[in-house]
Amino acid sequence: MVPAAHADHAAAPTETVTEPILIRRARGADVPAILNLIHIGTKSGKILKRSPTDVRRNLKGFRVVEDAGRIVACGSLEVYSRKLAEVRSLSVHPDCRRLGIASALIAEFLKEARRRRVYEVLAITDREQLFKRQGFADQLHGQSALFSRPGGRR
């Protein structure tokens, strides 16, 4: 059970999440809670910062996990084309971690990608095992993700 927190922000739970995990599409009213969860992730360097405008613009791809009326996790599936989508902004409140919430969100995103007939879904993460348990792999058919920081440090 998640105690009442600020109505506009992600919950600060002190107990475990009640079962079952409720995943739903994000709504406009969820944006402050989503931004708060993203902020928690960016403080630890785990996810990229997103602006309120960016979240609102991509709201249709966001899912939230609600417990006792409070949002305790979020993430988005951004579909770039029928060939590629990305799991982004996956964040679970620290007090609700290790309860299977992130796994449930990833499974929901993969289900949505299958429904939309997306060929591949990528995730940039330091939680490799979490994603590998859901069928993600380091390489697909001999391909690797490569990155460059033009004009920046390497």
Write down the domain spans for the chain: 22-132
Q: Is 89 left (phi over 0), alpha (psi -120 to 50) or beta?
A: left
pTM of the full structure? 0.81
Top-tier CATH class for 22-132: alpha beta
Q: Does residue 1 have a pLDDT over 50?
A: no
The structure tokens listed for 120 are 């591949």
Read off the pLDDT band of 10 (50, 70, 90).
Answer: very low
